[in-house]
Structure 1
Amino acid sequence: MPSITSPSGHFPTLCSCTKLVDGQALYDVKFYPYPTTDDEPIFAVTGSSHLFICRPKLDADPPFEVLRWFQLESGEHSFNSLAWARDPVSGEPLICVAGEKPKQIQIFNVESGKHVRSLVGHGAAINDLAISPISSSLLASASADYTIRLWNLDPAYKDQPCVAIFAGEGHRQHVLTAQFHPNGKWIVTAGLDTAIAVWAVPSIDALAQHRAHRDGSHPAPLTVYYPHFHSTEVHANYIDTAVFYGDLILSRSAKGQSEDLARTTTKVKIVPNEILLWKIDGFDSDDDPPTGPPIPTPSVWTRSSFPHDPRSRGFQRLMTFDLPNTSRFYLRFGLLHEPGVRPILAMGNEESRFLFWDLQKLEEGYDPNEESGANLKAPGVKAPRQRKKGKAAEARQQVNEGNLGRLGELRRGEIVGGGAGSDVGYGRTPDPSLTTPTTSASNVPPERKFDLGDSFMPLKPHHSVLASTTLSPKKHFAMAQIAWSPDGGRWMVGVGDYGMMCVFYRSVEREAGRE
């Protein structure tokens, strides 16, 4: 096991790369988001017919132990997504899993190892699961039936657990991702139709009207027909990941290799695979949803009910992240974004390499006390070349950099504050050094280590790691999902092709108290 020394003090070190199962891909990994009795993180991994519950161990080889292995019938189960929940009565940890088969959400009690229940309703494969940050009983699911469903695991909803369906004027093809805003009031979704949408989550009172009545009748789930934001202009390819970064959005798009090759032979320009950081004009997550969602109009590719200039598209592209060798879709990035912790974006490509971006460094910009290019000397990653710009380009860059220097403000201080009322995650004392001061164009340094003037220029990773394995150099693997532990990101786990699991660790100073 290598010595644990984080490069540049922020990025994790690869501890092990292990084939957890043989011959089957792993698709999802998530850490238990709630406090544990011994304060140690637990994570779950799923893929095909396998479901593992694991604990990372720093002084072990390999640096993890399997606590429970749910061995299911391979012909009847094909899982690709999971989410943690808690039993509303006992508080015991529950693991929710779903996928192509069966077209149901299966829920297991982790402590007893028993199957608890199945949630039936989707008419096709389920592609993503997410638990609400304000209630460990509210579960969202994204499906190939073009809908997103909201489920309540509370016993009061036992006879009718589906409380809301987001459908109608939303997605026209498979929905690949659904994630809550940290305050639980919004859901961002995206899919194969290249559309990305933001929906208002109905209030608890509105959802309560759709539980079983005393007379035994079961009202239909609440149907949400219109998202408050919908666009097919943000990305040109399939969107397999979308998460809130405060009030900004990080989303990734890609298209399969075979389709890229077919498009090449017909001499059609291939749209690059990318992760974008962007914002919806006028969106404030703390505001009540606008009274009227936007109605679809012919030849309008973006519709938004949030205040914006009617001459604009209603959103702004802020950054593009460089993603070499990531042509496949359904490869998901991992975002570390907790109070008091430097935000880090991590992505695995198809050549066994992990790419990292220090998002706080992008907000801080150029540090004259740092050695030039020190963070960019990872294998295979070249530092961007400084170019001499004309006066018009310099003025444009100065304005853009002034805007990007206010990312902390745009994210509404989420680095040092969590969602109100959240019962998820570990409480941490905010680190004053991580606050981002508001910067104006007049005080932006004349040079930056990272060229942020052009939102379409891909930003090279600040650090990368090649996962060395016994696989042939010509037989690399891709990471389907990356997860960070909720204790400040001490651990990072990635899972993917050939049953591979990579475990990373980094030293993090932990505060004495917890909320």
Structure 2
Amino acid sequence: LGCEAAVGSLVPSGSREFKLCSKHTEGKHPLHAIGFNFADARYYDVFATAGGNRVTTYRGLPDGNLAVLQAYIDADDAQSFYTLSWASDLAGTPLLVAAGSNRVIRVINCATGKLFKSLIGHGGSINEIRTQPLKPSLFISASKDESVRLWNVHTGICILIFAGTGGHRHDVLSVDFHPSDMHQIASCGIDNTVKIWSMKEFRPYVQKSFTWTDLPSKFPTKVVQFPLMTCVVHSNYVNCTRWLGDFILSKSVENEIVLWEPKTKEQGHGEGSIDVLQKYPVPDCDIWCIKFSCDFHFNQLAIGNREGKIYVWDVQTCPPELITMLSSPQCKMTIRQTAVSFDGSTILACGEDGSIYRWDEVEHEAAKN
């Protein structure tokens, strides 16, 4: 309320405890992405990883171990997958959308383990893919080519391209859909900005993409050149952004995550202000390939660092509460990404050493009684 932002303490509260249950090494390639399937309630215990030219799906077993379900090996040996996201077609078939260095988006059918579609359009490597939580047939991609694209996974159509006059001026590193307003997205990148975009006026094109029967290349893809607003919250690269209701969490290479409120004006593109609310310090997190994750209800946030440590924050307390800091002698390499299970009781981490680490919550005796 007009005061300085509330900064969290790095002294863990210990309100929840976790133990390392298992370590699984996939191979020699670094793992860039890991994520639970929140798109389908039947598979909340299923997650996937991406790294090198491989996308692998697993199930987290009740005993703390991991079971490999299937692996997709890309035909391009030189491919390096950077990102993945769960989606589904109109029939509800679970799909994995993955992309990386070779600019092509691969859509994998998880029922068959086979390639479903290859989507081409970006002119540079693809840094992040996110699925629309309310319509999991839609997803957005953020690329080195300075653009964000909206796709329909069912028809393979590129519906909208967010780029141009008011767009990013360098690689776009992260992007996210607003959780309840289907028309808003946020993107961020190496130009130090976070941009908020609206696709409200393009609703007819989104709807048309579901019924289009001609070639996807003939669809009248529209370019959105001006964001609702451009926000300068950080003074360096911004490499991860997530909506928290109408607020935004964003991470730069400045060893902290910031929670802030964008205040857009009804009239005029790009106008507005921001109100920084809270800061979550993360030591040794000054490289841009590290992303954070949250559980389904956005209660907990987990982020790794260069030293192999994982910081678990309670997102919704003020000032922020560091729940715990996870570390293990087995893990001394950079944690590139984490995944927090639906209820926050399991935290996964993957990173530079090609391994997956699974931490499970320890039940307190008082809770058992």
2: CA distance between counterparts of 1:282 and 1:118? 36
Unpaired stretches in structure 1, ≥5 consecutive residues? 1-6, 255-271, 284-289, 295-302, 307-313, 363-451, 453-458, 509-515
Q: 1:214 to 1:501 in 2, by over 3 A?
A: closer
Match of 1:31 in 2: 36
Shift of 1:490: 2.6
2: CA distance between counterparts of 1:16 and 1:47? 19
Match of 1:182 in 2: 179
1: CA distance between counterparts of 2:108 and 2:184? 27
Alignment deviations for residues 36-83 of structure 1 (CA, whole Å, 9 cap, x no partner) = 54x6510000011121100011315xx111111223346332101001
Overall identity of the aligned pairs, in %: 28
2: CA distance between counterparts of 1:40 and 1:247? 25
Contact 1:175 1:189 in 2 (8 A): yes
How many residue pairs end up in the alignment?
A: 348
Q: Aligned match of 1:348 in 304, 315, 337?
A: 304
Match of 2:21 in 1: 15
Match of 1:70 in 2: 72
Q: 1:29 to 1:213 in 2, by over 3 A?
A: closer
1: CA distance between counterparts of 2:199 and 2:345? 32
2: CA distance between counterparts of 1:174 and 1:360? 31
Alignment deviations for residues 163-206 of structure 1 (CA, whole Å, 9 cap, x no partner) = 11111111000000011110122111000111110111345424
Unpaired stretches in structure 2, ≥5 consecutive residues? 1-12, 364-369
Contact 1:322 1:460 in 2 (8 A): no
Structure with the bigger percentage of helix: 1
2: CA distance between counterparts of 1:149 and 1:293? 23
Contact 1:163 1:211 in 2 (8 A): no
Alignment deviations for residues 108-161 of structure 1 (CA, whole Å, 9 cap, x no partner) = 11121111110111011010001101111101000010000000123xx45xx0
Q: 1:215 to 1:152 in 2, by over 3 A?
A: closer
1:240-319 matches, within 5 Å, as 240-254=239-253, 272-281=254-263, 290=266, 292-294=267-269, 303-304=270-271, 306=272, 314-319=273-278
- The residue identity in structure 2 corresponding to 1:193 is D
Q: 1:485 to 1:215 in 2, by over 3 A?
A: closer
Contact 1:333 1:345 in 2 (8 A): yes
Q: Aligned match of 2:58 in 54, 59, 72?
A: 54
Match of 1:132 in 2: 132
Contact 2:142 2:148 in 1 (8 A): yes
2: CA distance between counterparts of 1:48 and 1:174? 21
Alignment deviations for residues 425-468 of structure 1 (CA, whole Å, 9 cap, x no partner) = xxxxxxxxxxxxxxxxxxxxxxxxxxx5xxxxxx7834211122
Q: 1:466 to 1:507 in 2, by over 3 A?
A: closer
SS in 1 for 2:101: strand
Contact 2:258 2:279 in 1 (8 A): yes
Q: 1:14 to 1:361 in 2, by over 3 A?
A: farther
Computing the radius of gyration over CA atoms, which structure comes out larger, 1 or 2? 1
Compute the RMSD of aligned alpha carbons.
2.5
1: CA distance between counterparts of 2:17 and 2:199? 35
Contact 2:305 2:335 in 1 (8 A): yes
2: CA distance between counterparts of 1:110 and 1:185? 28
**Length-normalised TM-score, structure 1:** 0.63
SS in 1 for 2:311: strand
1:479 aligns with 2:318: no
Q: 1:214 to 1:275 in 2, by over 3 A?
A: closer
- The residue identity in structure 2 corresponding to 1:27 is H
**Length-normalised TM-score, structure 2:** 0.87
